[in-house]
Amino acid sequence: MLARNIFSKAALREASFKRFASTKSIRDTLKEVIPAKQEQLKKLKAEHSQTVVGDIKVENIIGGMRGLKSMLWDASVLDPNEGIRFHGLSIPDCQKVLPAAPGGKEMTAESMLWLLLTGQVPTSEQTRELSAEFAAKGELPKFLEDLVDSFPASLHPMTQLSMGVAALNHDSQFQAAYERGIKKSEYWTYTLEDCLTLIARLPALAARIYRNVYKPGVQIPALDKNLDLVGNYVKLLGYGDNHSLTEYLRLYIALHGDHEGGNASAHTAHLVGSTLSDPYLSYSAALLALAGPLHGLANQEVLRWQLAMQKELGNNITHDNIKEYLWKTLKSGQVVPGYGHGVLRNPDPRFIALQEFCQGRPELKDSPIIQLVNKTFEVAPGVLKEHGKTKNPYPNVDATSGCVLYHYGLTEFKYYTVIFGVSRALGALTQLVWAKALGLPLERPKSVSLDVLGKLVKA
């Protein structure tokens, strides 16, 4: 059994206090939280605007700005050794205190959204009210249904998702309010409304794309007003009777909701949002960043690799055979998909959480593809350490995530990134609200040419 971090008693007391301290709505909660953050930012500007917190090196400029501390993102912090924390809470912490859906055990997207947006742990009643709001707002406008239905089935699902999200800006409250003239102090309230509406409509949009591409002609059911966001998403996909898949996607979407702001999709949303584009346009751009092979396609690449290994090894799957296959992959000049991370230097806590989910369900413990994932985990770190060219020889979340979807019958690889896109909206959109609440400026880094860089180095 993989070990979890121990949730400190002090943190648990604090989280419990936050959970039961209020029954306010998410809007009222933000109205209380925002002034304190605004004052914190104001004080930092006034007292420490010239304080140096890092050094710029040539490798940062020509290496994709990796590692530079140059972006404000309050919802989550990624530590190389501990992994992700959401407002100070680790993944095991969140699993202990964030409410589950009625009849379920896994934290919901609504509870993670509340935490990311307010920094507080919601009550079950608060998350259910949010679920009811999402169900009420979740239907797509007729013009958007017609638009999505007009897409050729050969158009990549991520392209369709991005186009659909962009088209939803037809109803943007922020854009309408900005055009009629509002104060900057009001920007966040209209941004919040757009973000909540977009999150509410993403399941119906993503499910419609899935049905059109993979199950044309099958009628899409209506939203269930009594289900949470993910419960409705799974129902619309056509898997509503599969409780285990629903629980898995609740965990998956909560875990993938945010991973600090420096990743390509989150950063893109922040950058486009800084131009005062509305949340629909901002997140549409983020989805296009997520569609890139170096960002959002990893779990399907893992699954392809695992299936290829399963086919080659057949029934003779041993540690020695897996080791040989790993070396074969590395010697061919390829990377081992699902291992390594741009920041992490230990096993990804999200991977551990998904592994524990698998270990708690007999059908997954007995699944050949999940057993292969587990055996690969037992061998791969040692091979990668021996190989010596990997900074982090441990698994990331993608080492498991797509394989579980495959086991439960969601076998359409190209669609996996759409599910990722539904989840990543939680963090990217909440931080658009905070960017407006804190009055963050247009993002505009200074670029230099190679000649100028050469002169700077000599100087």
Structure tokens at 164: 């659909």
Q: What is the pTM of this model?
A: 0.92
Residue 134: CB atoms within 10 Å: 25
Q: What phi, psi does 247 have (nearest 5°)?
A: -65, -40
Rounded mean pLDDT, 81-103: 95
Point out which residues pair with 84 in neighbouring strands: 78
What pLDDT was estimated at residue 16? 43
pLDDT in tens, 357-406: 999 999 999 999 999 999 999 999 999 999 987 778 999 999 999 999 99
Contact in structure between 305 and 109 (CB atoms under 8 Å): no
Specify whether the CB–CB gap between 351 and 399 falls below 8 A.
yes
What per-residue confidence (pLDDT) applies to 22? 57
CATH 1.10.230.10 fits 298-407, yes or no: yes
CA distances (Å), 132 to each of 24, 138, 219, 240, in order? 15, 10, 23, 18
What pLDDT, on a 0 to 100 scale, did the predictor assign at position 342? 75
Residues 295-330 as b/e (b if ≥16 CB within 10 A, e otherwise) read bbbbbbbbbebbeebbeeeeeebeeebbbebbeebb
Active site residues: 295, 341, 398
Give strand pairing partners of 79. Answer: 83
Question: Among 409, 390, 406, which residue's Cα sits nearest to residue 398?
Answer: 406
- Is residue 66 over pLDDT 80? yes
Query: Which residue type does 84 have?
Result: I
Every domain of the chain and the residues it spans: 133-292+414-437, 298-407
pLDDT attached to residue 17? 40
Q: Which residue has the higher pLDDT, 282 or 392?
A: 282
Specify which of 71-80, 192-201, 287-296 reaches the highest per-range mean pLDDT.
Answer: 192-201
- Amino acid making up residue 279: P
- What dihedral angle (degrees, nearest 10) is formed by the CA atoms of 450, 452, 458, 459? -160
Architecture of domain 133-292+414-437: Orthogonal Bundle (1.10)
Beta strand pairing call for 76-79 and 83-86:
antiparallel
d(CA 339, CA 390): 9
> 83 by DSSP, 3-state: which?
strand
**Is there a shared CATH topology between the 133-292+414-437 domain and the 298-407 domain?**
no
pLDDT at residue 121, as a whole number: 97
Chain centroid to Cα 193, Å, comes to: 20
Q: What is the pLDDT of residues 304-344, one digit of tens each?
A: 999 999 999 998 889 999 999 999 999 999 989 999 887 77
For residue 447, pLDDT beyond 70 = yes
* Rounded distance between C-alpha atoms, residue 291 and residue 417, angstroms: 7
What is the token pair recorded at 372? 């292969």
Q: Pick the range with the lowest mean pLDDT from 101-110, 232-241, 446-455.
A: 446-455
